[in-house]
């Protein structure tokens, strides 16, 4: 179990990109090449054990997940079970979320139930632009029903996607599915599912802010951008009406928690608000305390 007294932050958005058992998928390799250029970061990706050691050294707990894009792109995912096994063995610092392609329908819901029965899965991750689906498409509802039944959170990628940026045709990634308001029907239909809108959601930033203000079950994670580049309204609302709805996320390994936290200290967050963003809000959402 995570001892909140012994950690200084909770990073709610980190990616597993290197399997301990399987070689890198060549389709994902093309996306990793482009993302490395876009984020100006090292092409070499850390393994899950390397990531665990990195975060433990910094006393930062973290949520890790893969992204299942098998239907849209034919790319093999890192197995949810592999991530969950690592989280079980490192429960002092690591939390596992699962990713299941919504195109799998009822079979996907069946997989979710099996994972929840056998592994310490604490939430789910969706990337509508890369999974190629409208978040409110009814094909995804059997999967949402399982998540809501267990009262677990779900992270939805919103806004621009670094994945595919600079590739021909954006790598086939359709940005329209990242519009935050497309998730609004899901928030209405599944009030028991906590919804986390990932990233500042540019160019639809105000939609995310509106949804988090309007819906009790909608939160925002601030991953994928350095805080010094945040639209000013993000910091404004974080300091006021949404101070309990904002969550620290880095988007590791493309952005490191060290760089994110250092930038956040200079971004204009109030002194009493930054601890909420870095740890307290996520601890409550994930029911760690």
Band of pLDDT at residue 28, cut at 50, 70 and 90: confident
Q: In this predicted structure, what is the pLDDT of residue 26?
A: 81
Q: Report phi then psi at 89, rounded to 5.
A: -80, -15
Digit-coded pLDDT (tens) for 225-248: 999 999 999 999 999 999 999 999
Q: Averaged over 66-75, what is the pLDDT?
A: 92
Q: CATH number of the domain that 86 lies in?
A: 3.20.20.140
CA triplet 240, 243, 249: central angle to 5 degrees?
Answer: 135
The mean pLDDT of the chain is: 95
Q: Give, to the nearest 10 degrees, the angle between helix 80-89 and helix 48-58.
A: 40
- pLDDT-derived band at 264, boundaries 50, 70, 90: very high
Q: Domain containing 46: what range?
A: 4-285
CA angle 116, 118, 122 (to 5 degrees): 40
Q: With 0.85 as the threshold, say if the pTM is over it.
A: yes
Q: What is the three-class DSSP state of 118?
A: helix
pLDDT tens per residue, range 92-136: 999 999 999 999 999 999 999 999 999 999 999 999 999 999 999
pLDDT for the residue numbered 43: 74
What distance in Å separates the CA atoms of residue 67 and residue 76, rounded to the nearest whole number? 10
Containing 213, the helix (H) or strand (E) segment is helix 205-214
Give the separation between CA 92 and CA 89, rounded to whole angstroms.
9
Number of domains in the chain: 1
pLDDT score recorded for residue 42? 79
- In this structure, of 52-61, 92-101, 159-168, the range with the lowest mean pLDDT score is 159-168
Q: Residue 165 has what pLDDT?
A: 86
Res 38 pLDDT > 80: no
pLDDT for the residue 30: 82
149-175: average pLDDT: 93
Annotate 27-55 with b (16+ C-beta within 10 A) or e (fewer): ebeebbebbbebeeeeeebbebeebbebb
């Amino acid at each position: 179990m995570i001892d909140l007294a012994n950690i200084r932050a909770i990073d709610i958005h980190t990616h597993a990109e290197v399997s301990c058992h399987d070689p890198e998928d060549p389709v994902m390799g093309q996306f990793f090449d482009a993302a490395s250029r876009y984020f100006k970061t090292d092409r070499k990706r850390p393994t899950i054990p390397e990531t665990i050691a990195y975060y433990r050294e910094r006393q930062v707990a973290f949520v890790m997940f893969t992204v299942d894009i098998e239907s849209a792109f034919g790319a093999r995912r890192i197995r949810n079970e592999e991530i969950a096994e690592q989280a079980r063995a490192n429960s002092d610092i690591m939390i596992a979320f699962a990713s299941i392609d919504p195109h799998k329908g009822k079979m996907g819901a069946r997989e979710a139930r099996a994972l929840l029965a056998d592994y310490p899965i604490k939430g789910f991750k969706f990337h509508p632009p890369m999974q190629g689906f409208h978040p409110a498409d009814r094909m995804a509802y059997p999967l949402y029903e399982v998540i809501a039944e267990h009262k677990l959170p779900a992270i939805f990628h919103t806004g621009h996607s670094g994945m595919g940026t600079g590739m021909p045709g954006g790598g086939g990634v359709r940005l329209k599915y990242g519009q935050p308001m497309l998730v609004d029907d899901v928030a209405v239909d599944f009030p028991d599912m906590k919804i986390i809108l990932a990233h500042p959601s540019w160019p639809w930033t105000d939609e995310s802010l509106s949804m988090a203000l309007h819906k009790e079950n909608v939160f925002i994670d601030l991953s994928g951008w350095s805080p010094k580049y945040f639209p000013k309204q993000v910091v404004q609302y974080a300091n006021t009406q949404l101070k309990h709805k904002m969550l620290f996320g880095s988007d590791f390994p493309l952005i490191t928690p060290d760089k994110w936290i250092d930038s956040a200290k200079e971004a204009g967050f109030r002194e009493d608000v930054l601890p909420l963003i870095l740890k307290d809000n996520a601890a409550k959402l994930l029911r760690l305390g």
